């Protein structure tokens, strides 16, 4: 059973990293569930403090994921159309067969979204940059936390490997 929990937990931490970029998947929260499964094994001793702190961090990041892009959009006089365009562009960019397509797609989506709301290209570009900066800040934060969770998972797995197998 420990091996099963270990494999599913590791897959959840990997999914958490992917969730940093995918708008429908809460990256750090998913990664946290991977850590939870690791601590549910018989080999790794339960640490409620560790799990509580990492859960609090993942929830805070999840909430900030909604606040940071809105702050970036508002700071640069953006609209909700730009934020929606960023998300749509991100999804299209993920499907594009080009390197960093999600970044290019997010920016272009923000620009197109703002152009549907504002007819002045210069103002739309400024607002799109704000939407894009908010998206980048939020994504970077989620990615860093998800990588840390994955590192913690791997570290604890290595530490207790002899007891797991």
Q: What is the pLDDT along the chain (165 residues), one digit of tens a residue?
A: 889 999 999 999 999 999 998 877 889 999 999 999 999 999 899 999 999 999 999 999 999 888 887 787 778 877 788 888 888 888 888 888 777 787 888 889 889 988 988 888 988 888 888 878 888 888 899 999 999 999 999 999 999 998 887
Q: What is the pLDDT of residue 50?
A: 95
What span, in angstroms and rounded, lies between the C-alpha atoms of 117 and 109?
Answer: 13
Q: Under DSSP, is residue 77 helix (H, G, I), strand (E, B) or coil?
A: coil
Can you count the helices (H) and strands (E) in the chain? 7, 0
DSSP 41: S
CB 32 within 8 A of CB 58: yes
CA atoms of 88 and 35, how far apart (whole Å): 31
Cα separation of the two ends of the chain: 10
User: What per-residue confidence (pLDDT) applies to 93?
Assistant: 85
* CA gap 122, 53 in Å, rounded: 44
Complete DSSP assignment for 89-154 = HHHHHHHSSSTTHHHHHHHHHHHHHHHHH-S-HHHHHHHHHHHHHHHHHHHHHHHHHHHHHHHHHH
Q: At 135, list the tokens.
A: 């998206």
């Amino acid at each position: 059973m420990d091996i099963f929990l270990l494999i599913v937990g590791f897959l959840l931490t990997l999914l958490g990293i992917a969730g940093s970029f995918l708008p429908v998947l809460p990256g750090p929260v998913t990664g946290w569930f991977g850590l939870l499964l690791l601590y549910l094994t018989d080999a790794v001793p339960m640490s409620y403090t560790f799990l509580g702190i990492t859960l609090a961090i993942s929830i805070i990041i999840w909430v900030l994921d909604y606040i940071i892009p809105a702050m970036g959009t508002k700071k640069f006089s953006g609209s909700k159309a730009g934020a929606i365009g960023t998300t749509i562009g991100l999804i299209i960019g993920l499907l594009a067969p080009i390197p960093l397509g999600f970044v290019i797609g997010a920016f272009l989506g923000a620009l197109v979204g703002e152009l549907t709301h504002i007819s002045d290209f210069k103002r739309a570009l400024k607002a799109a940059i704000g939407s894009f900066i908010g998206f980048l800040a939020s994504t970077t934060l989620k990615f860093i936390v998800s990588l840390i969770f994955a590192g913690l998972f791997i570290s604890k797995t290595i530490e207790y490997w002899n007891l797991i197998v």
